[in-house]
Amino acid sequence: MRLRELVFGAACAAAVRAAVRLGVPDALDDSPMTVDDLATAVKTQPHTLRRLLRALSCQGVFTENPDGTFEHTDMSRLLREDDPHSLRYIALWCTEPWTWNVWPRLDEAVRTGGNVFEEVYEQEFFTYLNESAPESAHVFNRAMTTSSEQSARDVARMLDLDDAGSVVDIGGGQGHVLASLLEKHPHLRGTLLDLPGVVENADPRLRDGGALADRARIVAGDCREDVPVEADVYIIKNVLEWDDDSTRRVLAAIRRSARTDARVVVIENLVDDTPSMRFTTAMDLLLLLNVGGAKHTRQSMVDRLTKAGLVIGEIRPVNAYLHAFECTVPAT
C-alpha cells in the first residue's frame, strides 16, 4: 500500500495546489466550516470540494470532524497567505505547469546526466520563466523571497559576527540574509552582490532611504566572473548547486578577492546527514531536471571547498534543511 501511495504522489501535490489556487486555506478561518459554506466562499461545487478536502485530510492537510465540518491543521495553516511562516508560494512553485512536463522525463535526465528542460521548452530555464511564463516567474520570485526571508532569520541566529566589521552576501538575491545580519549587528557593514536584474529589487531596507542603507552597499555583478569586494566574512547561500564549473569559478573568485584569514561561510541543503532528506533529495532531482544542477552531500561539499583551497572548520546545521560550512582563507 505504501508503494501505491507513492505512485499516486502527483495526486497529493495537485490537491495541495488546487486548494491554494481556490483559496480554501484563506477562506477557512479559526472556526470549523461546513463544506457548503466553504464552497460558497471559494465558488466551487460542494460535492467536489468535499472530495478534495477528504483527500488532503488523509495527508494531515485540514481535518474532517465527526459532524462533517472541516478545520485547519498546523500544515494547512502554512498554506494561508497571512501566516508568518507561509509556504503558499513554495507549494505553488513546486507544482507549476512546467514541472508536470519535466518530471516524467527523469529517467532521461538520469541516463544523460543533464537537464531536460531545454529540450522540452527550447529555452534555458530562467529565459523561459522571464520571457515565456511571467505568471510562473512571479510565483518563483515570491517563493524564493519567502524561502529567503524565513531562512535569513535562522542564519542570523546561527552566525556569530561579533568580531567582524564587514560582510558580503554573494548571490544574495534581494538581500534578506544581509538585512537580517545588519539588523542584529549594529556595528556591521555589508555588501549585497548579485546580478543586475536581481539587485534592482533589493530589500527596501538596503536601498537609498532604507533603515540600513547607511551601512549597506549594493553591487551588481556575476559572482562566477568576479567578487569585487573585500570583507571579513563572505556568505554564499544556496548558490553552489550549479554545474561543477560554475561552482569552481565562484569559489576561485572569492579566493582572488579575500584576504588571508577571511571567513567564508557556505550554506547549502544536503542530501545526506540531514533530517529533511525527503525534501532535499526531491529538490536535488528537480535541479537536475531544470538546470542540470545538484544538491550536495557533506563530502562532496567538503571536496569542492578543499579543492578551492579553503580550510574547513566547523560544519553545523542552520535549521532542519540547511547546513553551514565555516571556512577560512589560508595564506598563499
At position 36, the amino acid (one-letter code) is D
1 occurs within a structural domain: yes
Exposure string of 54-92, with b = 16+ CB inside 10 Å and e = fewer, is ebbbeeebbbbeeeebbbbeebbbbbbeeeeebbbbbbb
Q: Are 65 and 164 contained in the same domain?
A: no
Point out the domain boundary residue: 66, 83, 100: 83
Average pLDDT over residues 184-193: 97
The whole-number pLDDT of residue 214 equals 97
- What is the Cα–Cα distance from 90 to 150, expressed in whole angstroms? 12
**CATH code of residue 238:** 3.40.50.150
pLDDT grade for 283, boundaries at 50, 70 and 90: very high
91 occurs within a structural domain: no
Point out the domain boundary residue: 68, 83, 98: 83
Q: Which residues contact 19 (CB under 8 A, 6 or more apart)?
A: 25, 52, 53, 56, 61, 62, 76, 79
List, for residues 76-105, the tens digit of each pLDDT value.
999 999 999 999 999 999 999 999 999 999
Average pLDDT over residues 251-269: 96
Tell which residue, 173, 181, 167, 295, has the closest CA to residue 235: 167
Q: Are 173 and 306 contained in the same domain?
A: yes
List, in sequence order, the alpha helices (H) in the chain.
2-7, 9-22, 24-27, 35-42, 46-57, 74-77, 88-93, 97-102, 106-112, 117-121, 125-132, 134-158, 176-184, 196-199, 244-257, 277-291, 298-307
Q: Are 251 and 305 in contact (CB under 8 A)?
A: yes
Q: Are 189 and 57 contained in the same domain?
A: no
pLDDT grade for 107, boundaries at 50, 70 and 90: very high
The whole-number pLDDT of residue 242 equals 81
**CATH code of residue 9:** 1.10.10.10
- Evaluate if residue 243 carries a pLDDT over 90: no
The whole-number pLDDT of residue 94 equals 95
67 occurs within a structural domain: yes
Q: Are 322 and 186 contained in the same domain?
A: yes
Q: Are 172 and 267 contained in the same domain?
A: yes
**φ, ψ (nearest 5 deg) of residue 130:** -80, -25
Q: Are 184 and 268 contained in the same domain?
A: yes
Tell which residue, 223, 231, 236, has the closest CA to residue 266: 236
List, for residues 58-80, the tens digit of each pLDDT value.
999 999 999 999 999 999 999 99
Q: Are 289 and 105 in contact (CB under 8 A)?
A: yes
Average pLDDT over residues 103-131: 94
pLDDT grade for 162, boundaries at 50, 70 and 90: very high
- What is the Cα–Cα distance from 177 to 105, expressed in whole angstroms? 35
Half-sphere exposure of 238 (CA within 13 A, CB side): 17
- What is the Cα–Cα distance from 57 to 112, expressed in whole angstroms? 39
The whole-number pLDDT of residue 304 equals 95
**φ, ψ (nearest 5 deg) of residue 190:** -140, 155
The whole-number pLDDT of residue 178 equals 97
Q: For the ranges 6-15, 144-153, 323-332, which has the lowest average pLDDT?
A: 144-153
Q: Are 169 and 77 contained in the same domain?
A: no
Q: Per DSSP, what are the bridge partners of residue 324?
A: 267, 316
216 occurs within a structural domain: yes
Query: In which domain, by residue range, is 324 found?
Result: 151-272+293-329
The total number of structural domains in the chain stands at 2
Q: For the ranges 6-15, 176-185, 269-278, 294-303, which has the lowest average pLDDT?
A: 269-278
Tell which residue, 50, 19, 16, has the closest CA to residue 33: 50
177 occurs within a structural domain: yes
65 occurs within a structural domain: yes
The whole-number pLDDT of residue 144 equals 86
Q: Are 175 and 323 contained in the same domain?
A: yes
Q: Are 66 and 166 contained in the same domain?
A: no
107 occurs within a structural domain: no
Supply 54's cell numbers.
477528504
Q: Are 156 and 257 contained in the same domain?
A: yes
Angle at which helices 244-257 and 298-307 cross, to 10°: 50
Average pLDDT over residues 255-260: 96
Q: How many CB atoms lie within 10 A of CB 100?
A: 12
- What is the Cα–Cα distance from 206 to 214, expressed in whole angstroms? 8
Point out the domain boundary residue: 31, 56, 83: 83
324 occurs within a structural domain: yes
Supply 194's cell numbers.
548579485
Q: Which residue has the cell 522540452?
A: 120
Q: Are 49 and 155 contained in the same domain?
A: no
Q: Are 180 and 313 contained in the same domain?
A: yes
